[in-house]
Amino acid sequence: MPVDLYQKYGLSEKEVTEWAKTKYPQFLKNKTVLAQLYLKQVRKVQLTDEDIAIMRGPVKKINELKPGQWVIIEAVVGPKLRENSYNGCPICFKKLEGEFCEICGKVEPIVCWFDSYVVGDNTGDIIATFGPKLANSRKSFEGTVLRLRGVLGDQGEFLVNAIEPLEEGRKELVEKKAEVDAQAEVNLVKEIFEKFPVLRYEDLQKWHSSRGLSTNLDELLAKAPLFKWPDGTVRKEAPTSTSPVAPQLLLIQEEVEKMKKVLEMFPEVDLDSLKIYYTQEKFKTPLEALLKAAGCVIDDKGKVRKVS
């Protein structure tokens, strides 16, 4: 429930309204915002998260979010993805070029922060961006279980303007769902290695980023378990100094040599034709990896040729 700032700090609506008539006439109907501004500017009160939070709106799952709709989601906060800062107003956080704010007048600018995290529930995950009202504390929210009030923006990120901790029962439920989600990501990696027993770590990193998975790649590999080899590949088998070359690596080498011979006969060939040959011969190594290992490139006309 929203905090009654008038009761908590002994304010009268009359004194706040009279003060706001000249400074913020556009906000006269919003008693909560006026109280927050009055406390910060006149009484110099450092408002708490509880004072600022306005937890109103329907509770939705992440897969139910629609742009422009103010809602509440209950989610586990994952790792921080990025942070950005700018010089802004210490009262309304509007970006400033100098020391004058169009809303609040002459002020001393402060550094304002935006922090973006991965958050998830049992239906999926999304990037949630915490604005200066929350991020300026420089507190990390990673690993917390929260109710987040916000709106889905045009870029597909959930823009958070208020938070509160979940009550213990709900917290345990969401945490359990997060464990299930994490295991689902591990299973996804396992499925890939059923099809491709050897993959380059670099390619796995690109795939991991494109899927927006919340679990760190190295952590996923450890849980699968899968192993990084000195040659930059990832495999099911752990590397040893005494074991012979893994059969799968021999297979890759054989397929690369086979592809090289074809390209020696046809120094320039259509990619579509090569794909037909690739399918007929039932190669197991991904075509892109084969061509790269064979020293070939694909030009903008769809031709495959050896790099001279």
Q: How many folded domains does the chain comprise? A: 4
Q: Kindly state the average pLDDT of the residues 115-131.
A: 89
pLDDT at 50: 60
pLDDT at 54: 58
Residue 26 located in a structural domain: yes
pLDDT at 176: 55
163 in Cβ contact with 134 (< 8 Å) = yes
Residue 242 located in a structural domain: no
**Any bridge partners for residue 232, and if so which?**
none
pLDDT at 199: 85
Query: Is residue 193 over pLDDT 90?
Result: no
71-104 pLDDT per residue, tens = 999 888 888 888 999 999 988 888 998 899 888 8
Do 267 and 300 lie in a common domain? yes
Do 47 and 137 lie in a common domain? no
pLDDT at 290: 77
In the listed set 183, 207, 235, which residue is the last one of a domain according to the structure?
235
Do 96 and 186 lie in a common domain? no
Rounded Cα distance, 257 and 99, in Å: 67
Do 257 and 230 lie in a common domain? no
Q: Kindly state the average pLDDT of the residues 129-134.
A: 91
How far is CA 263 from each of CA 32, 149, 206, 267, rounded to the nearest angstrom? Answer: 72, 58, 28, 5
Do 176 and 224 lie in a common domain? yes
pLDDT at 87: 94
Residue type, 145: V
Residue 240 located in a structural domain: no
Residue 16 located in a structural domain: yes
pLDDT at 170: 60
Nearest by Cα to 128 from 26, 212, 221, 216: 212
Residue numbers of the domain that contains 287: 247-306
Which residues of the chain form beta strands (DSSP E)? Answer: 70-88, 100-101, 105-106, 110-121, 124-130, 145-152, 158-165, 198-200, 227-228, 233-235, 268-270, 296-298, 303-306
Residue 57 located in a structural domain: no
